C-alpha cells in the first residue's frame, strides 16, 4: 500500500475535536428565519416542513440541499410528516433538475455527523446532486479544483422559478 503524507491536514482535523467551541450560526436556520432574504441565501423553495437551498459550494451545477425547519441532527428524530415532505421535495427536485439540466444520473443522500462528512453536522440535510459522465476532470485530479461553469445566482433564479411554476 502506498502512503500519501499530508501533515497540513492535521490542523484541519484538529479543528473538529471540540465542536462545542464552535458556535457558528447554522446557515439553514438563518435561511429559515429570514424569508425576505431567500435570493441572497440561495433558497429555491419552502414547503410545509422543510427548505430547499442551493449548495453555496456545489460539486456540480444544480446541487441542492433539503433540510427540515427543525434544527435536528439525527435522522431518527424526524417525524413522519417531515420524512414525507423531505422525500417529496427530493423527488420534485429530481424532476426539476432533470428538466433544467438533463443530467445522466443523481447522487441523493445525507452525511450524518462530522466523521461522515457533514459540513453542518448539527442540522440534518439531504443532498441532491446532478451527475454527468466525465463531470470530474483533470482539474479536480491534478489541481484539487472543481470547476462549476454556471453562475449560482442564475441557477438559483432558474430553479426557484421552476419550483414556483410547479405549484401554480
Give the three cell numbers for residue 81.
Answer: 410528516
125 included as an active-site residue: yes
DSSP E strand stretches across the chain: 43-46, 50-54, 64-68, 105-109, 126-131
Across the chain, which distance is largest between two alpha carbons, in Å?
Answer: 57
C-alpha distance across the termini of the chain, in Å: 57
Given the residues 34, 125, 127, 166, the one annotated as active site: 125
Positions marked catalytic: 125
Amino acid at each position: 500500500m502506498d502512503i500519501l503524507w499530508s501533515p497540513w491536514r492535521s490542523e484541519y482535523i484538529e479543528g473538529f475535536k471540540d465542536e462545542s467551541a464552535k458556535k457558528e450560526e447554522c446557515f439553514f436556520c438563518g435561511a429559515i428565519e429570514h424569508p425576505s432574504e431567500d435570493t441572497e441565501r440561495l433558497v429555491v423553495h419552502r414547503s410545509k416542513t422543510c427548505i430547499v437551498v442551493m449548495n453555496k459550494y456545489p460539486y456540480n451545477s444544480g446541487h441542492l440541499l433539503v433540510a427540515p425547519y427543525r434544527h435536528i441532527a439525527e435522522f431518527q428524530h424526524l417525524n413522519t410528516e417531515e420524512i414525507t415532505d423531505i422525500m417529496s421535495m427530493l423527488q420534485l427536485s429530481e424532476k426539476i433538475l432533470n428538466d433544467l439540466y438533463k443530467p445522466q444520473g443523481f447522487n441523493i443522500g445525507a452525511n450524518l455527523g462530522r466523521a461522515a462528512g457533514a459540513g453542518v453536522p448539527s442540522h440534518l440535510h439531504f443532498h441532491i446532486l446532478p451527475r454527468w459522465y466525465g463531470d470530474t476532470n483533470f482539474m479536480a485530479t491534478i489541481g484539487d479544483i472543481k470547476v462549476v461553469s454556471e453562475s449560482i445566482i442564475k441557477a438559483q433564479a432558474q430553479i426557484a422559478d421552476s419550483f414556483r411554476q410547479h405549484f401554480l
